[in-house]
Amino acid sequence: MAIGALESEVLLQFLVEAVTLSSLGGLIGIFLALAGSFGLARVLQVPFIFNPGIVVIAFFFSAAVGVIFGYFPARQAAHLNPIDALRHE
């Protein structure tokens, strides 16, 4: 805001960052879970059954967590006075 950004632009920037980070974390988590499940299925000698619906739900859940928990800090940052925001840097 100190360089002329609007409140909506600051809010959008924080939300995009939160969703990107949580989605990337979700993808890494899905990859690790699939690799671990596949490895454990081989060790236990049970069939590995892949359900793409569960993977999609897990990805959207991680993205939703980013939106929900990114919105409130983003809104707070968007409403900051530019002088106060620069003072804390």
CB atoms closer than 10 angstroms to residue 84:
10
What radius of gyration, in Å, describes the C-alpha atoms of the chain?
19
Whether the CB-CB separation of 27 and 64 falls below 8 Å is answered with no
Tens of pLDDT, residue by residue, the chain (89 residues)? 556 667 778 788 888 888 888 889 989 999 999 999 999 999 999 999 999 999 999 888 888 888 888 888 878 777 777 676 667 65
* 1 domain-assigned: no
Q: Nearest 5°: CA angle at 64, between 63 and 70?
A: 90
Count: domains in the chain: 1
Note whether residue 87 is domain-resident: no
Q: How many residues does the chain have?
A: 89
For residue 29, the model assigns a pLDDT of 92
Residue 26: inside a domain:
yes
pLDDT at 40: 94
pLDDT of residue 76: 79
Residue 55: give the domain boundaries.
7-81
